[in-house]
């Protein structure tokens, strides 16, 4: 890339300068100094690829605590994950249980101060041999191509994929992907890995978060005749029609538990019904930094009988859940399910 033609003098002359308010700065920093003088047990979690809070800050904290002579009160766990706070709900829960046990017993839990050493990931991350060994993984399809938003290439931090079949829509991206200059690549799960995902006769759509809202692609692509490998899909988005080629859905995400608080395993199917009409399908996921289920429930514009404002009931692994929700297409929320 050639150097900028703007001289240092011109740059400095045009720079916007803000005055510092010393009193406000002192008030903001008061109590936030990192002294390392811990007074109670602290268990920290950090991901190796966090671009917002770099892994070096975990090392800085460890050095400050050691210099203060309080290393006995610090345990750190490093997770091999590319994202910011890329921990699954199960990994958060395991860390909280470890911290509570530490406080109760006085015995510190295991940690790994650096990248090497003990592993604490409870879900395999994309790109690892463990993720490639998940049943159905070989049938995933990686889409790539060019994207346009309101007629122009765009950048976005998040791109996802849904699979559409007979009016139902299921989130099926293995992991969220970025868009850079309108170019992208995203891996989509097949039905053998996740209920409601790709199979012959289904269509794939994309969604992105841009200009303050989720926008779906105006086009869909047929699932390839042969699963696995790469396939091209060029698509367009329009802020004026955010639902793209589909219709509004009620969106839910959460975990599935037994009454004793245990998690149900990966692959457990989750169905949503309005009366006797099935209005949504997905399954529990334990691959990547997302753990739990993500479910889109159709409205009447997609599936007759999926009435707006009606009560949604759920079946998990074929068993009725003890929780219900209201079908409000266009809205999203957190929903945990418990199965007797």
- Work out the pLDDT band at 114, boundaries 50, 70, 90: low
Select from 184, 204, 237 the last residue of a domain: 237
pLDDT in tens, 299-330: 999 999 999 999 999 999 999 999 999 999 99
Select from 183, 213, 237 the last residue of a domain: 237
Question: 11 in a domain, yes or no?
Answer: no
pLDDT in tens, 21-49: 999 988 988 888 889 999 999 999 999 98
Same domain, 225 and 171: yes
pLDDT of the residue at 25: 87
Question: Quick count: other Cβ atoms within 10 Å of Cβ 124?
Answer: 18
Q: 42: exposed, middle or buried (C-beta count within 10 Å: 0-12, 13-18, 19+)?
A: middle
Question: 43 in a domain, yes or no?
Answer: yes
pLDDT average, residue stretch 136-155? 96
Question: Where residue 177 sits, what CATH number does that domain have?
Answer: 2.60.40.1120
Question: What is the CA angle 214-160-84, rounded to 5?
Answer: 90
Question: Where residue 269 sits, what CATH number does that domain have?
Answer: 2.60.40.10
pLDDT of the residue at 1: 46
Query: Domain span at residue 172?
Result: 138-237
> Residue 259 pLDDT > 80, yes or no?
yes
pLDDT average, residue stretch 329-338? 95
Select from 193, 217, 237 the last residue of a domain: 237
Cα separation, 13 vs 110, in Å, equals 54
pLDDT in tens, 146-181: 999 999 999 999 999 999 999 999 999 999 999 999
28-37 burial code (b ≥16 CB/10 A, e <16): eeeeeeeebe
- Provide the domain count of the chain: 3
Question: 13 in a domain, yes or no?
Answer: no
Question: 81 in a domain, yes or no?
Answer: yes
In whole numbers, what is the pLDDT of the chain averaged over residues? 93
């Amino acid at each position: 890339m050639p150097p900028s033609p703007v001289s240092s003098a011109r740059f400095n002359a045009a720079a916007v300068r803000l005055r510092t308010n010393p009193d406000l700065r002192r008030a903001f920093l008061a109590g936030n100094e990192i002294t390392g003088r811990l007074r109670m047990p602290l268990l920290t979690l950090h991901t190796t690829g966090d671009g917002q809070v770099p892994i070096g800050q975990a090392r800085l904290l460890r050095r400050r605590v050691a210099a203060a002579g309080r290393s006995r009160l610090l345990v750190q766990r490093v997770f091999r994950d590319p994202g910011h706070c890329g921990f699954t709900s199960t990994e958060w829960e395991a860390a909280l249980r470890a911290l509570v046990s530490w406080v109760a017993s006085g015995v510190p839990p295991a940690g790994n101060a650096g990248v090497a050493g003990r592993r604490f990931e409870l879900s395999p991350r994309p790109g690892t041999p463990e993720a490639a060994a998940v049943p159905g993984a070989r049938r995933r399809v990686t889409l790539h191509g060019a994207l346009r938003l309101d007629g122009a290439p765009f950048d976005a931090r998040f791109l996802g994929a849904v699979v559409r079949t007979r009016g139902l829509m299921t989130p099926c991206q293995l992991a969220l992907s970025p868009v850079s200059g309108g170019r992208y690549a995203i891996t989509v799960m097949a039905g053998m890995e996740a209920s409601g995902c790709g199979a012959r006769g289904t269509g794939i759509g994309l969604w992105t978060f841009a200009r303050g809202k989720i926008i779906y692609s105006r086009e869909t692509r047929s699932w390839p005749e042969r699963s696995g490998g790469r396939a091209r899909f060029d698509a367009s988005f329009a802020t004026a029609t955010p639902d793209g080629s589909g219709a509004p859905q009620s969106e839910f995400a959460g975990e599935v538990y037994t009454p004793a608080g245990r998690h149900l395993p990966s692959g457990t199917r989750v169905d949503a019904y309005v009366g006797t009409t099935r209005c949504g399908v997905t399954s529990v996921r334990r691959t990547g930094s997302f753990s739990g289920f993500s479910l889109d429930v159709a409205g009447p514009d997609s599936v007759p009988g999926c009435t707006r404002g009606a009560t949604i009931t759920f079946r998990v692994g074929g068993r009725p859940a003890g929780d219900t929700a209201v079908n409000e297409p266009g809205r999203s929320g957190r929903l945990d399910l418990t199965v007797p």
